[in-house]
Amino acid sequence: MDEARWYVVHTYSGYENKVAGNIEKAVENRGLQDLIREVRVPTEKVTEIKDDKCREVERKLFPGYVLIKMVMNDEAWYIIRNTRGVTGFVGPGSKPVPLTEEEVLRLGVETVSIEVEYKVGDTVRINEGPLMGFSGVVEELEPAKNRVKVAVSMFGRDTPVELTLSQASIDE
The CATH number of the domain holding residue 158 is: 2.30.30.30
Number of domains in the chain: 2
pLDDT confidence band for 163 (50 / 70 / 90): confident
Write the pLDDT tens digit of every residue in 112-148. Answer: 556 678 889 999 998 888 888 999 999 998 877 778 8
| Inside any domain, residue 112 | no
In a shared domain, residues 28 and 88: yes
Task: Identify the domain containing residue 49 by its residue range.
Answer: 5-107
In a shared domain, residues 99 and 26: yes
Are residues 17 and 40 in contact, defined by beta-carbon separation less than 8 angstroms?
Answer: no
Alpha-carbon distance of 5 to 83, in angstroms, equals 19
Choose among 80, 85, 79: nearest CA to 64: 85
Residue that is last in its domain, among 72, 107, 142: 107
Tell me the residue type at 127.
N
| Inside any domain, residue 41 | yes
Helix, coil or strand: residue 99: coil
- The counts of H helices and E strands in the chain are 3, 11
In a shared domain, residues 72 and 127: no
For residue 47, what is the domain's CATH number? 3.30.70.940
Write the pLDDT tens digit of every residue in 95-118. Answer: 889 988 888 877 766 655 566 788
Helix, coil or strand: residue 139: strand
